[in-house]
Amino acid sequence: MLNNIGLPGILLIAVVVLVLFGRGKISGLMGEVGKGITSFKRGIKEGEESAAEEAAELAKDVTPETEKDKV
């Protein structure tokens, strides 16, 4: 069903949405989507950093002091 929309159909849908919601509401919605994407990326970055810190904690040398001298 959606395979036959094409460019004219997409343009018609865009015009109808613009008429129904208005330019201000659509631009506000796009601003909120942008903020959401930015927040999502920030959360992913913080998650990766915390995972790297946890991995570094686990990778610390836990060999007892008496065993280090035997090397």
Nearest-CA neighbor of 21 among 29, 33, 9, 12?
29
* pTM of the predicted model over 0.85: no
Q: 49 falls in which pLDDT band (50, 70, 90)? A: very high
Which residue is associated with the tokens 């201000």? Answer: 24
Q: 43 falls in which pLDDT band (50, 70, 90)? A: very high
1 token code pair:
């069903």
**Which positions ≥6 away from 54 have C-beta within 8 Å?**
none
